[in-house]
Amino acid sequence: MSRRVSPAELRRLYEQQRLVPAEIGERVGVSGRTVRAWLQRLGIPLRPQPERRRRHRPPTPAQLRRRYLADGWSIGQLADRYGVSTSTVRRWLQDAGIPRRPPGGRSQAPSREELWRLYHAEGLSTTQIGERYGVRQGTAHHWLRAAGVALRPQGRPTRADTGRPPRR
């Protein structure tokens, strides 16, 4: 669930706690890119790229095999879990000799009616829909577009953000 974050709180998380934008985004329900935009708008200098840090150690080949093959985790879910890109996970799979599943094998899109209900009636964001179904935000966005569900203008608050129905 996303929430408003004050400039003082943003400054505290970034400068004092030394969290990276993606970590701040996870806490407040937005993307790291949005957090970087907020920081720039507030005139807070961004730290150099090398200062970014991994949130988790890479998995062992056995852990990777279990999560990917036995538990059915997607490459995106593995990337989120280990704080790396999907290309890094694909390289890990290749290095461990683990065959890749065909893309899209595990995520089944909900019905158009269910997507409309979640997005418009409940006011969930694409990030929140993705979290509910265990897929990435981009997959949820793709589902909405493919189902012909009208998208809200970017940056417009959702009902889940404001606690009240959006103005029409």
**pTM recorded for the entire structure:** 0.37
Question: What confidence category does residue 162 fall into, taking pLDDT thresholds of 50, 70 and 90?
Answer: very low
Q: Which domain holds residue 34?
A: 7-51
Q: Would you say residue 125 lies in a domain?
A: yes
Is 116 in the same domain as 158? yes
- Residue 124, amino acid: L
Q: How many domains does the chain have?
A: 3
Task: Quote the pLDDT of residue 166.
Answer: 46
Q: Would you say residue 104 lies in a domain?
A: no
Is 158 in the same domain as 129? yes
Which residue would you say has higher pLDDT here, 154 or 24?
A: 24
Which residue would you say has higher pLDDT here, 78 or 2?
A: 78
The answer to whether 149 touches 112, Cβ cutoff 8 Å, is: yes
- Span 63-108, pLDDT tens digits: 998 888 777 778 888 888 888 888 889 999 999 998 887 765 555 7
The answer to whether 79 touches 85, Cβ cutoff 8 Å, is: yes
